[in-house]
Structure 1
Amino acid sequence: MPAPTKKASRKKRTLRVARKAPPESADRVLVVDALVKRFGEKTAVDHISLQVRAGSFFGVVGPNGAGKTTTLSMVTGLLRPDEGTVRIHDIDAWADPEAAKRATGVLPDRLRLFDRLTGGQLLHYSGTLRGLDARTVRERSADLIAAFGLEDAVDRLVADYSAGMTKKIALACAMIHSPRLLVLDEPFESVDPVSAANLTEILERYVAGGGTVVLSSHGMDLIERVCDSVAVVVGGKVLAAGTLDEVRQGETLEDRFVALAGGRKAAEGMEWLHSFSD
């Protein structure tokens, strides 16, 4: 047998042990069937289908403009599909949107919060909007504020928060009604490493307790570290989906993603860049 190449050895060393995916017998919390979304003549999402089982930490990866955010927006009721269906905990998300939203917590891309409220007021508003009584809102708000490390910011206007703090209060608002499914679009973007580790632990505990997370991210290392299943979306289509090991096929997720997505450019030319202006 030939000796392994340096490239193969590197892949073997960096391949992470995948988190165990839920069994096939687990309930399907999210079923996306042949979703299509067009903007004029451009098809942003082209018959995407996905299945996510209860207790899964499911990652969605893809290059910029791949259709990830558009897909998640249709899943969460923020954007109406042109074709296809979304079922959340066996509820048709567009036939019965109120019931579907009760089962879902959402952290959307391009956050739009009521930022003239304080963090505490925003949590109270979110809980009340979800139909929780005042006592439950107070108790859960206190738990979330402590868990997310928001004690020093709870009485400040959200408009004065940093990008990372804004992500944390938005995620706390998404979780206050204890949804079955969390759909998170780039939840760790602009979040510092310490806060990211804290958020990851909170989400892992949520999944261990029976919750389900679907998140999109450009961070392949993050997806490989926390997710048990993944879908690769390119050009509005799912090119690969399944458990992390099924999609990786013995490679790192980054290498497998690049192989599927293509588009890597050879670093040639631009010799002028080495002729410095001074």
Structure 2
Amino acid sequence: MSHQPPLPPAPVPSAAPDRSAPPPGGQPALSVRGLVRVFGRPGTPDAKVAVDRVDLDVPRGSFFGLVGRNGAGKTTMLSMATGLLRPTAGTVRVAGVDVWAEPRRAKQLMGVLPDGVHLFDRLTGRQLVTYSGLLRGMDREVVAERAEDLLRAMDLLGDAGTQVQDYSAGMTKKIALAGALVHAPSLLVLDEPFESVDPVSAANIRGILHGFVAAGGTVVVSSHVMDLVQRMCDHVAVMDRGRVLAAGTVDEVRAGASLEDRFVELVGGRRETGEELSWLRPE
């Protein structure tokens, strides 16, 4: 039985190219087809299309960046892709497993770090990672070993007994990432993982993620920092107003320019403010 509600009658999302055929090179780590999310009551003036018939494939073993300005639909799309928000229409598959038809099986394959994640912050760091593993049905001894390994890798062993509510922003991101990794997923989906993170913590997180990809894992990371994505990722998709405007390898998408310049070219919106702010001159 289908779990997908019908497409609402209004507003009508714009047409998108048909990319229903499977990509070359085997099954993708994440495959999105015809994904739509409408907020508000369908058929009323306040209805808003946040994600507009998105088709996207994330190759296995890739470090995939999803870029877009604030409000582009990145978080909404990733929330649907990871089973946190039910789509209005469309399908999502993780390694061929339908996220909404087989949610438990699909979520076993994923590690997720949502934007603005709310943690059980009165647990200590060690307790939080342990809880994440036990919640997934892992053996307690295995969880204990992996928790120690992850705390060491995140440089958090010295703070393992401290409650997470007393962690800095960077430490909080790292302990949340440890919780997302403890069950050894094949796909990591991270929404703005470097926001409010200091440069040292960010460098450590990047090193861990690159090691994960080198070992055969797949990472999807959303960001609006173009330079970071260009340096970190090998694939990228540009999203704006709920639609994917371009997707492919970083070199393919940036087409000889910087990713930032290519992004601005695709989404538009740059304004010349020299005349409007001509008064803004120190005396």
Q: Normalising by structure 2, report the TM-score.
A: 0.88
Residue 210 (str. 1) matches residue 216 (str. 2)? yes
Deviation for aligned residue 1:24: 4.3
Equivalent position to 1:134, from 137, 140, 153: 140
Counterpart-to-counterpart distance in 2, 1:160 and 1:121 = 14
- The structure 2 residue matched to 1:170, chosen from 169, 176, 179, is 176
Distance 1:74 1:194 in 2: 31
Give 1:226 shift: 1.3
Q: Distance in 2 between matches of 1:49 and 1:95?
A: 18
Displacement of 1:191 = 1.2
Select 2:277's aligned residue among 258, 265, 270.
270
Matches within 5 A, 1:142-161: 142-161=148-167
- Residues 88-142 of structure 1 show CA distances to partners (whole Å, capped at 9, x for unaligned) of 0110000010000000000001111001111111011001011111110111001
> Which ranges of 4 or more aligned residues in structure 1 deviate by more than 6 Å?
none
The structure with the greater share of residues assigned to helix is 1
Query: Structure 2 unaligned runs (5+)?
Result: 1-22, 41-46
Q: Deviations over 1:20-72 (max 9, x none)?
A: xxx94253111000100011111000001110111000000001000000000
Q: Does the CA contact (< 8 Å) of 2:238 and 2:244 recur in 1?
A: yes
SS of 1:273's equivalent in the other structure is: coil
**SS of residue matched to 2:105:** helix
Residue matched to 1:32: 32
Q: 3-state SS of the aligned residue for 2:220? A: strand
State yes or no: 1:71 paired with 2:77: yes
Q: TM-score, normalised by structure 1?
A: 0.89
Q: Determine if the alignment matches structure 1 residue 180 to structure 2 residue 148.
A: no
Matches within 5 A, 1:1-278: 24-40=24-40, 41-268=47-274, 269-274=276-281
CA distance in 2, matches of 1:236, 1:29: 22
Aligned Cα RMSD in Å? Answer: 1.2
Provide the C-alpha distance between the structure 2 equivalents of 1:30 and 1:56, rounded to a whole number of angstroms.
Answer: 11
Separation in 1, partners of 2:206, 2:27: 24
1: distance between equivalents of 2:198 and 2:119? Answer: 20
* Percent identical residues: 61
Amino acid corresponding to residue 246 of structure 2 in structure 1: A
**Partner Cα distance (1:264, 1:154) in 2:** 46
- Determine helix, strand or coil for the equivalent of 2:84: coil
* Alignment length (residue pairs): 254
* Alpha-carbon shift at residue 152 of structure 1 (Å): 2.0
In structure 1, stretches of 5+ residues that fail to align are: 1-22
Q: Distance in 2 between matches of 1:223 and 1:188?
A: 11
How far 1:219 sits from its partner (Å)? Answer: 1.4
Conserved 8 A contact 2:27-2:96: no
In 2, Cα distance between the equivalents of 1:33 and 1:60? 16
CA distance in 2, matches of 1:126, 1:91: 22
Q: What's the secondary structure of 2:55's corresponding residue?
A: strand
The alpha carbon displacement at 1:267 in A equals: 2.2
Residues in 2 aligned to 1:107 and 1:75: alpha-carbon distance in whole angstroms: 12
Counterpart residue type for residue 264 of structure 2: V
